[in-house]
Structure 1
Amino acid sequence: MLALGIALGSLQGMAQAATFVDVLDLPARSSELASRSPLRDVARAGDRLVAVGLRGHILYSEDAGKSWQQASVPVSSDLNAVHFPAAKQGWAVGNDGVVLHSRDGGASWEKQLDGRQIGELVLAHYQALASAEPDNEQWAQFVAEGQRLVDEGADKPFLDVWFVDAQRGYAVGVFNLILRTLDGGRTWSPMQDRTDNPQSLHLNTIAAVGNELYVAGEQGLLLKWDAVEQRFAALPSPYQGTWFGLIGKPGELLAYGLRGHVFRSTDGGQSWSQVDTGLPVSITAATLDEAGRFWLFSQAGHNLLGQDGGSRFKVVPRENLAPVTGAATDSAGSLVLVGERGVRALPVE
């Protein structure tokens, strides 16, 4: 009986192992509760709204957030960010090095890249540069980084994505992971050597303000694309804690992060002034409304409306506060917020 029990246990273990499917190969499951499950980001796609979240869930709404449909997604990895440079063309990124692309406004998605490929991609790129310039010592460091990515496997998340148009875009993530595409995601090029980030700090967000492109991350890291030098150059940082996001419009840039810290720049990030939010909790999301006003949202669910061009903010009272991780405005001008409790729409003042 003991031998039989051992044999049956062994067979059961083998069966379980045989049925394991990597989340990178497992399509997201359909769920009636998807709109109330944890979501991490939301974006406009023309008149549609598209939200992304855990377990590969992607939702889209065609009626200003009143109802949501679940998209067809080929992975079950957690998704962290989404961006649509045009109504039909969009990209989403997440854990396990996932990059997804939609051609139909977020209704269906295809995988363009995952972490199983990224290590080899980075390694091959920097090996080629090292071979072409054997006396350039910096390439050895990046070759070693590529080898580390290969050895550690598909576990490095992308944290944000931004595209200027349907061809040119960036994905950024942990440990200075940054890739660029010039052909709509068919091919990607590493850019770790083009960031002023010697400590390989996490890149939490990438955002454009007018014609200027910025990256922000942990330990006060602020970068700005220098078109002449063709690199993300360091900006003076007014705060040495973690930045969670950047938002702005021409002539005004806000950086927000831990413990309610918000700073404002009117000269492209060369100098900063602190904005008093009156809150001790982290600011985790932001958006501009149809009137061009800044809205900030906290980890505890506070809604803050910008005054005087974002130089000060007031708290807008709301009932049933819930953590906010992403924000957008719908075609009717309402706020659409996502977080641990799913998605909800709120009126603006």
Structure 2
Amino acid sequence: MIFSLIRFSMRTPYVVFSVMSLLLASFFNIAQAKSSSNLLELPAVDSDLANKSVLMAITPTNDAILAVGERGHIIKWQNNNNWQQQQSPVSVAITDVTILSDGSKIAVGHDGVILKVASDSTAWRTVFTGKEITSLTIEQLKKQQEILQQLLLKTQDEDELEALTYQLDDLAFAIKDNQIELKSGPNKPLLSVTRTSNDILFASGAYGILLSSKDTGETWKLVSNQLDNPDSFHLNAVIATSDDQLYIVGENGTGFHSTDVGQTWSVMALPYSGSLFGIIANTVNVLPPSIGDNIATDDNNATDDNNPTNSTQLVAFGLQGNILISLDGGGHWQHKKLPSSTSLLGGNFSKQGKVYLVGHGGLIVSFDPENPSSLNIKKHPSGAAFSSVLVKDNALILAGQFGISQWPLKEEE
């Protein structure tokens, strides 16, 4: 297949195309399988090489690492000699995964698929597909159509009449396109999934798709219309912070922020207009500047002004080595660019607050977000494209083009 790591940067009819794509020998096998059967109904094939296949996202569990990737592969991994493939009901690429507070897990992927598994099971089940996305989209478009038709009947202004007529024409075309898609089958991928502290879920994807679930992923609602995204730019990543702030980044420098668990969203003014493929967050305690000079000797004299406050550090990354850094939860941003034009696809914070980013060509970048000028740039000897990274036991766990690998960390890294 074409290895895209499921990150969009261009308008494409299907997710297996990307400017970062690498051609793998299995492409023709996948294409043939796609034409002969519905991959949403074809369970993933058990493979002794699943841990070496393209893996797109990893997340830690209590005793292992959960990895998801191409061909519907879902893997519980301790090391490359100790891993187990779990039962996946689909053969489409799985792009991201998250774990709920009760231990159940949610994964998202191509063709709008959403999978779920209980904490005590390894047999995943399908709870949602792109067919539902298309149906929900048609439903929303028809509601908009009804509203505009009512306005058209009430208005007498010629300019308003003309504008409403154009909008209704656009809606009619959009409804027709989605009705065609409903017959031909889903083709819009989900690219990212996250949860809040009380297990409200959000999944984002291509063409501006945003879904939410308030019942631990059993049912989903289309909430794309809550975003100011009239061009339906791809939403490549959605994250929730420890204090339930929500952030989305995507195509064309798109960025959104919610402070009320997704009820409303504001547009982030980002200093970069290219594609962003991911965003990571770290909440830190910040001491007031005067705390060292104004220490209360009596508890009754202490003030709230002297108490540490939480601050959210954000790092967004993407096309051609562009990095955006905020130390105040997205209020202000600093734009950094790598010396090379290598794209960055995944990232994470260490427990010590250090940033690790990974990307094409084995690229591994690390830095202190408060001192981003001191970038440490390394290259993995495999030269593989990496899409996800975890920091564990003085090593990086890397997932990407050739499965999972480990990179020992030195003190200076």
Matched residue, 1:281:
342
2:327/2:370 contact within 8 Å kept: no
Alignment of 1:151 with 2:180, yes or no, is yes
Cα shift at 1:126: 5.0
Matched residue, 1:5:
none
2:86/2:122 contact within 8 Å kept: yes
Matched residue, 1:7:
none
Letter in structure 2 aligned against 1:47: D
Write out per-residue CA displacement over residues 135-178 of structure 1, whole angstroms, 9 at most, x where no aligned residue: 47789977864653342131111111111257410111111111
**Separation in 1, partners of 2:198, 2:82:** 27
**Separation in 1, partners of 2:106, 2:98:** 6
2:246/2:261 contact within 8 Å kept: no
**Separation in 2, partners of 1:119, 1:229:** 21
SS in 1 for 2:270: coil
Cα shift at 1:298: 2.0
Cα shift at 1:64: 5.5
**Separation in 1, partners of 2:370, 2:175:** 43
Root-mean-square deviation (CA), in Å?
2.8
Alignment of 1:272 with 2:333, yes or no, is yes
Cα shift at 1:200: 0.7
SS in 2 for 1:148: helix
Q: Provide structure 1 residue ranges, at least 5 long, that are not aligned to the other structure.
A: 1-15
Note the 1:1-349 alignment, pairs <5 A. Answer: 20-61=36-77, 63=78, 67-86=82-101, 88-104=103-119, 107-125=122-140, 127=142, 135=150, 145=174, 148-152=177-181, 153-165=185-197, 167-210=199-242, 211-227=244-260, 230-250=263-283, 251-307=312-368, 309=370, 311-312=372-373, 313-316=375-378, 318-330=380-392, 332-349=393-410
**Separation in 1, partners of 2:106, 2:257:** 22
1:207/1:215 contact within 8 Å kept: yes
Letter in structure 2 aligned against 1:203: L
Residues 1:71 and 1:29: Cα distance change in structure 2 (over 3 Å): same
Q: Provide structure 2 residue ranges, at least 5 long, that are not aligned to the other structure.
A: 1-31, 152-163, 284-311
| Percent of residue pairs bearing the same amino acid type | 28
Aligned length: 331
Matched residue, 1:4:
none
TM-score, length-scaled by structure 2: 0.73
TM-score, length-scaled by structure 1: 0.85
SS in 1 for 2:217: coil
Cα shift at 1:317: 5.5
SS in 2 for 1:311: strand
Mean CA deviation greater in 238-247 or 132-141: 132-141
Residues 1:339 and 1:88: Cα distance change in structure 2 (over 3 Å): same
Letter in structure 2 aligned against 1:158: L
**Separation in 2, partners of 1:48, 1:130:** 49
Q: Which has the larger radius of gyration?
A: 2
Cα shift at 1:127: 3.8
**Separation in 1, partners of 2:211, 2:260:** 17
1:326/1:339 contact within 8 Å kept: yes
Write out per-residue CA displacement over residues 183-214 of structure 1, whole angstroms, 9 at most, x where no aligned residue: 11222111121001111100000012333110
1:286/1:295 contact within 8 Å kept: yes
Letter in structure 1 aligned against 2:247: Y
1:290/1:333 contact within 8 Å kept: no
Residues 1:304 and 1:24: Cα distance change in structure 2 (over 3 Å): same
Write out per-residue CA displacement over residues 280-335 of structure 1, whole angstroms, 9 at most, x where no aligned residue: 211111012232321111211121121354623212454333210111234x3532
